Every structure is written in C-alpha cells, then in structure tokens.
Amino acid sequence: MCREEETHRKTPPVVVVAGHSNSGKTTLVEQLVPLLRVRGYRIATVKHSRHAFDMDRPGKDTWRHRRAGADTTVAARPGEIAVIRDWPGDPRLGDIAREHLGHADIVLAEGYKNEPFPKILVVNPAFPGERVGLGPGPVLATLVLSPLPEHGPPRFSADSLESLADLLEGQILSARRRE
C-alpha cells in the first residue's frame, strides 16, 4: 500500500472545541496542538466561520484559475499545500475530515458546536450564567478559565492542559492507534 492510500484509509476522530466568541477556543487549540504533537500524533485543525475570509485574492493565479471555472484549485510550494474547492452549501465537519484529513490522528475543530462530535467546552467568566447551545455529541471536558463549582464532565483549568491531553489520548487517540 502506498503512503497516500495508507494515510487516507480512515476518517480521523474529531473533537470540537466549543464556547462563546472570544472565550479562548483558539488559544486552547494552539496550546493543545504542540502537547499532542510531542506525543507523536498528527494533528489537523479546522476553523469554521460564518464570515468571508480572503485566502484566494483577486488577481492572483489561484483566483484566476477559480474564476475560469476550476472546481478545485491547489496552491503548492515546498512544505505546504492549500486546497480551494467548491462545496455545495455549508461544509459539514465529517465531510471535511473524511475528504481532506485522513492523514491526521485527530482533528480539533472550532466553530462546529452543533455537529455530533465529542466536545471540549471552553467556559469564560465574561459570560456568567449563559450556556453555550451545543448540538449532539458528548462533552468530554470543560476548560474553565476561572474556578466554577465541580459537576458534569471533567473540568480543567488553563494550567492543567497536560491532563486534558491525557484525557484526549486515553479516550480518543488510543482507539485510533489500535485501528
């Protein structure tokens, strides 16, 4: 089996990092990635946004390719590639993981709180008493940016991220390694 077939054979497990805007979701992802990488895992991240983003700028070659009618455009340079692809409607997280991220051991996703994947809830005291509306999927853990009463899934403070990485390794990544 060639490397490409080997790395794209299975959809990687997905964990959603959910919370209010500006609650610390991106900070959590950027701190978890190196903790998991040092343990030998390949990490993919997905950031969903309802707002437009400017990756394929007017006048650039990839923009011109897309404007000419290409369904998929790849920009490649030594060390990285970027894929720009037409997609009907709002891309589902499971479709993204299956179609593009099979090489990863885990996908950490931001902005898909209504998707049916396990979640890490980031709680910020700036939103007291307000609950984040979550779709289906278990809450694996809650990252609390200040002390709150203990109840529900395991809670982690910002200074106990190694324990959160242990939880992900034990509950999500160990199953991937056995496959």
* CA atoms within 13 A of residue 91's CA, in its CB half-sphere: 18
Q: What is the pLDDT confidence band of residue 1, given thresholds at 50, 70 and 90?
A: very low
Q: What are the tens digits of pLDDT across the range 59-84?
A: 888 888 888 888 888 888 888 888 88
Q: What are the tens digits of pLDDT across the range 18-58?
A: 888 878 888 888 889 999 999 999 999 998 776 656 667 78
Which residues touch 148 (CB under 8 Å, ≥6 apart)?
Answer: 123, 155
Whether residue 99 has pLDDT greater than 90? no
3 state SS of 66: helix
122, containing H or E segment: strand 119-123
What the chain holds in terms of domains, given with CATH numbers, is 3-48+91-178 (3.40.50.300), 54-89 (no CATH)
8 A C-beta contact, residue 152 and residue 139? yes
